[in-house]
Amino acid sequence: MLDQLTMAPSDPILGLTDAFRKDPNPDKINLGVGVYKDESGHTPILNSVAQARQRILAAETTKNYLAIDGSPEYSQVVQELLFGAGHALLGSGRTVTVQAPGGTGALRVAADFLHQHFPAARVWISEPTWANHSQIFRLAGIQVQTYPYFDARTNALDFAAMCRALDSAPAGDIILLHGCCHNPTGVDPTPDQWRDLAGLLTARHLLPLVDFAYQGLGRGLREDAEGLATLCAALPELLVASSFSKNFGLYNERAGALTLVAATPEAAQQVLSHLKICIRANYSNPPAHGAAIITTVLQDTQLRQEWEGEVRAMRQRIGQMRALFVATLRQKGVVRDFSFIERQQGMFSFSGLNKEQVETLRHVHGIYIVGGGRINVAGMTRQNMDPLCNAIAAVLN
Ligand code: LMR
């Protein structure tokens, strides 16, 4: 039976990391997967995280299971970070958070829950979007639709086309939005556009599912949550899948959360009871360590301050790399205008390089970027900038 299968395609992002590892080229550069690197090209453990880890290891007395929905302290700090301390939703009873193994785990729990209870609902994802979105929902049994998002001629959001498509979605469908730092384009709605989106979703009775994986890496921790705040002010119900892989550098700890805002506290508890069944049937209960680190950092004034500084430093370094990338391309004689890259937010730059150019970068120059032309700016350094821009100049000419 099993020998009837042929090879599945490798993952467009993590498969690239596998190929990179096997590449013997000593000058290879991996700008594929969205992982932050410091100026020396290393993915660091944040100081705040290292200190929290020490405290946890010193105090830990058991490895007993967590509850199916995870730790209540974690839920509280997650909600405070999403909505802001003192937000009316906190303590309203209308919002519940379940701890999840990464943002991907949170999306899959949401997908299982939605498919089980709203089998006719489809999910609408942006075109383009993170390479994993479509398969998460498809494999959960949900039909996937796309809405236009990016205008390649202007390197900007095609908001009119996006709204036209969403306006045609039937009531009860699910609209996946990126909370900030859209992956892969780095192009986000403006505050006015978020307000218009909130109005459209309300009028059409559509359910937003916000994928929020880059809080703090765009404009700032609170600034990046403004779109979510606008949705919360307008809509009675929504879901948020959040991740701490990037802003805490906790990639391999798989720390994320699924947060639900319901119209009433009773509805929130009812949904929670069903989410717990999805979790129990999937991975039983969540891993503890990453979430414990986040809770420890966010509950402690000194660690939190240090972490906020570390997020700021990551954000600033990414901004500097954007500027240096654009300037270096110019200096290498590239005539195409890449200045839009400085206006993009978050880890990625959507370069506009085509499939053939991406292939040439990889096979001739040992530079790995994602198929659609997405480059991980957070992986650029002053050292790799020259070879990177030389290679891009060569493929463009
Ligand atoms: C990415 O987009 O590169 C990251 O979100 C990592 C992943 O899991 O794909």
> pLDDT at position 345, please?
93
> What's the 103 CA to ligand 1 centre distance in angstroms?
10
**Minimal-distance CA residue to ligand 1 atom 2:** 34
Give CATH for domain 65-299.
Answer: 3.40.640.10
**What is the Å distance from ligand 1's center to 39 Cα?**
21
Question: Residue 66 has which token pair?
Answer: 């967590």
SS3 59: helix
243 CA to centre of ligand 1 in angstroms: 11
Note the pLDDT of residue 397.
83
Specify whether the CB–CB gap between 195 and 226 falls below 8 A: no
Cis-peptide into 119, omega within 30 deg: no
Q: CATH 3.90.1150.10 in the chain: give the residue spans.
A: 11-45+314-396
- Protein residue closest via CA to atom 9 of ligand 1: 13
For every residue of 221-247, DSSP letters joined together read TTGGGHHHHHHHHH-S-EEEEEE-TTT
Residue 10 alpha carbon to ligand 1 centre in Å: 14
Mutate to test the pocket of ligand 1, among 18, 30, 33 (most ligand atoms within 8 A of CB): 33
**Residue of 37, 112, 246, 307 marked active site:** 246
- Residue 263, C-beta contacts closer than 8 angstroms, at least 6 positions apart: 94, 236, 237
Residue 332 annotated to the active site: no
Q: Specify the pTM.
A: 0.96
Q: Of 279, 245, 285, give the one whose Cα is nearest residue 111.
A: 279
* pLDDT tens-place values along the chain, 397 residues long: 999 999 999 999 999 999 999 999 999 999 999 999 999 999 999 999 999 999 999 999 999 999 999 999 999 999 999 999 999 999 999 999 999 999 999 999 999 999 999 999 999 999 999 999 999 999 999 999 999 999 999 999 999 999 999 999 999 999 999 999 999 999 999 999 999 999 999 999 999 999 999 999 999 999 999 999 999 999 999 999 999 999 999 999 999 999 999 999 999 999 999 999 999 999 999 999 999 999 999 999 999 999 999 999 999 999 999 999 999 999 999 999 999 999 999 999 899 999 999 999 999 999 999 989 999 999 999 999 999 999 999 999 8
- CATH class of domain segment(s) 11-45+314-396: alpha beta
Dihedral angle, C-alpha 146, 147, 150, 152, nearest 10 ° = 70
User: Can you tell me the distance from the alpha carbon of 147 to that of 390, in angstroms, rounded to the nearest whole number?
Assistant: 35
- CB-facing half-sphere around the CA of 100: CA atoms within 13 A: 31
Q: Is 176 helix (H, G, I), strand (E, B) or coil?
A: strand
- Nearest CA residue ID for atom 4, ligand 1: 34
236 C-alpha vs ligand 1 centroid, how far in Å?
A: 30
State the CB neighbour count (10 A cutoff) for residue 346: 28
How many angstroms separate the CA atoms of 332 and 313, rounded? 28
Is position 246 annotated as part of the catalytic site? yes
Ligand 1 pocket (Cβ < 6 Å) reads 13, 33-34, 130, 132, 183
Helices 301-331 and 289-299: crossing angle in degrees, nearest 10, is 100
Active site residue 194: no
Ligand 1 centroid, distance to 33 Cα (angstroms): 5
Which residues make up the CATH 3.40.640.10 domain(s) of the chain?
65-299
185 contact partners, CB below 8 Å, separation of at least 6 = 128, 149, 150, 157, 344, 348, 350
What pLDDT score does 44 carry? 96
Specify the residue with its C-alpha closest to ligand 1, atom 1. 34
Ligand 1 pocket test, candidate residues 130, 253, 368, most atoms within 8 A of CB: 130
Question: Choosing from 130, 173, 188, 224, which is the catalytic residue?
Answer: 130
Catalytic site residue from 37, 211, 224, 307: 211
352: left (phi over 0), alpha (psi -120 to 50) or beta: left
Cα(266) to centroid(ligand 1), Å: 35
* Atom in ligand 1 nearest the alpha carbon of residue 11: 9
Cα separation, 61 vs 360, whole angstroms: 53
Quick check: 83 and 265 in contact, CB under 8 A?
no
